[in-house]
Amino acid sequence: MKTKHQNNMKTPSRVSTALTLFSIAAILAWPIGSLVQADVTLPSIISDHMVLQGDAKVAIWGWATPGEKVTVKIAGQVHTVQADTRGAWLANLKKLKTGAKLEMTVTGTNTITVKDILVGEVWLCTGQSNMERPMSSVRDAAREISDANYPEIRLFTVPRTRVMSAPMETCGGKWVVCAPDSVPSFSAVGFLFGRELHKDLKSPIGLIHSAVGGTEIELWIDYRVYKAAVDAAGEAAWPPYDPQIAEANHQEALRNWAVAFEKAKALGTHEPDKPRKAVDPKSRKRGQADYYNSMIHPITRYAIRGAIWYQGEWNTWNAYWYRTLLPLMIKDWRFRWGQGDFPFGIVQLANHGDIQTQPVELSSEAEVREAQLLTLKRSPNTGLAVIIDTSENGNLHPTNKQDVGHRLALWALAKVYGREIVYSGPVFDTMKIEKEKVRLCFKQTGGGLTAKGDTLTGFAIAGADKVFHAAEATIDGVCVIVHSSSVAKPVAVRYGWANNPVCNLYNKEGLPASPFRTDDWPGITQPGQ
């Protein structure tokens, strides 16, 4: 298969500059528009059954007649503020005690009473289709739903809305109490994550679901921030494109898909998705912040503990650029919320598509996984849930969302709530060449490294010719030693480098190792080559 390669793993310096430039105050204006009205009103997210973040600065805001005085009463606190010339007002509450059950009144010319308020832990659950997939679609859905009686878990779904102009002020939606009749349509990953936190913390949990399937990360970033980064990067923001190579790759992908489709049909298993033909990146409509405007901006004043993010399948076309875009989005969102570097959990892409047949395969999905792994170093207070083992037959939408929620919860319980537990699978740390062998050492090994199965698989080794061969691998303490009789002088190792890799390195707590590579050789999506 003909494929155009690129070189160098380093992010262009102009892009790095953009990550600093984006914080210019001019891009942070909150567009209020015309808010003149007679009655005091609240955004939809401040409503009955809500969960307010405990032990944190909490804002209550809304709209009224310009100049009108508005009084907020809650938990013995009384705050009187005045609506500005556009009718907007905001009251900052003193910290609320976790576990409290409250009622709030907001009074101006009229009075609003917000009932059944809990104080606990609030998490934003966001991304694309694998975050959006509801509880009704997961493994063991009937049992999971029937057991979902959790009155202290509250669910808020931001309605799916696309706005290409100015950011919205409110988003619709309502808080509901978690129960068998309310949970089926809610984000499965979000609920399963929140359920585990609730059981451990014994605290009310508020889950805000804001996700849209088939969306690129560009659509979730404020456009002014995104455009500043693209302008700074110039041509470096665009992946390479050769129409002849694209057509040849597409035809081969179609042939492989046809074989896999017929096999799956005969076996009655999941039928693989038909591959899409690559298009010239410069012909693509770049992000206009459509979903940031309508599904993130309206809730950025609502205090949260942190966020979990499951997205990336639709950025395989520009996977190298994703290593810039994901930290950019995280930094921008944190600035919008004004809560500092709040915790941000990332779900690494699951195994997807045809099962790996070569020691190393040309894989844009592996490059997205690499970008997600690199984000841990580039963005503070982030975590990664590795789910390279969760997809059934390479399904793009695995029904096993239980492991996803569990692994996210392990990270949150350990790194946010201080539980002394193993929360991550093995992460590559160092490499040392020992004659014809390579010693790879890992962090996050928990009770020790182990292979799930008789033989450790997934490692490939290459010499200076950059040709990878399947490697024999053995565990030695917190290290793995790899070698191949075909490579006398090794220089690089890759693990799990394919769309749907065959790999089985875990720690003894049952958490899988993240795919990785030790080299910085050309990928298939790096710009400017």
Rounded CA-CA distance 475/449 in Å is 7
Residue 287 CA to its chain's centroid (Å): 17
pLDDT score at 229: 92
SS3 439: strand
Task: Pick the closest to residue 261 from 249, 273, 252, 277 (CA basis).
Answer: 273
Is 468 among the domain residues?
yes
Is 508 among the domain residues?
yes
Rounded CA-CA distance 208/236 in Å is 35
The model carries a pTM of 0.89
Written as one string, the DSSP assignment of 196-244 is: HHHHHH-S-EEEEEEE-TT--GGGGS-HHHHHHHHHHHGGGGS----HH
Task: Kindly tell me the sign of the dihedral angle through the C-alpha atoms of 330, 418, 508, 123.
Answer: negative
Is 329 among the domain residues?
no
Do the Cβ atoms of 145 and 179 come closer than 8 Å? no
Q: Furthest-apart CA pair in the chain: how many Å?
A: 82
Give me 21's structure tokens.
């430039």
Do the Cβ atoms of 78 and 93 come closer than 8 Å? no
Do the Cβ atoms of 394 and 351 come closer than 8 Å? yes
Residues with Cβ within 8 Å of 248's Cβ and at least 6 positions away in sequence, in order, are 1, 2
> What range does the domain containing 496 cover?
427-513
SS3 60: strand
Q: Residue type at 175?
A: W
Do the Cβ atoms of 383 and 513 come closer than 8 Å? no
Going residue by residue through the chain, which has 529 residues, state the pLDDT in tens, using 9 for 90 and above: 333 333 333 444 444 444 444 443 333 334 444 444 579 999 999 999 999 999 999 999 999 999 999 999 999 999 999 999 999 999 999 999 999 999 999 999 999 999 999 999 999 999 999 999 999 999 999 999 999 999 999 999 999 998 877 899 999 999 999 999 999 999 999 999 999 999 999 999 999 999 999 999 999 999 999 989 988 988 778 777 777 767 777 777 777 778 767 876 776 665 666 767 666 766 665 557 889 999 999 999 999 999 999 999 999 989 999 999 999 999 999 999 999 999 999 999 999 888 999 999 999 999 999 999 999 999 999 999 999 999 987 888 999 999 999 999 999 999 999 999 999 999 999 999 999 999 999 999 999 999 998 899 999 999 999 999 999 999 999 999 999 999 999 999 999 999 999 999 999 999 999 999 999 998 888 875 4
Cα angle vertex 261, ends 256, 265, to 5°? 155
How far, CA to CA in Å, does 456 sit from each of 450, 453, 506? Answer: 8, 7, 10
Q: Residue type at 80?
A: T
Rounded CA-CA distance 466/496 in Å is 17
What is the total residue count of the chain? 529
Q: Residue type at 447?
A: G
Rounded CA-CA distance 473/451 in Å is 10
Is 306 among the domain residues?
no
Residues with Cβ within 8 Å of 211's Cβ and at least 6 positions away in sequence, in order, are 125, 126, 127, 128, 129, 131, 132, 187, 310, 311
pLDDT score at 7: 37
Number of domains in the chain: 1
Is 249 among the domain residues?
no
Is 12 among the domain residues?
no
Judged by phi (left if over 0) then psi (alpha if -120 to 50, else beta), residue 65 lies in: beta
Average pLDDT, the chain: 90
Is 484 among the domain residues?
yes
Strands 427-434 and 449-451: unpaired
Cross-strand bridge partners of residue 443: 427
Do the Cβ atoms of 8 and 519 come closer than 8 Å? no
Is 226 among the domain residues?
no
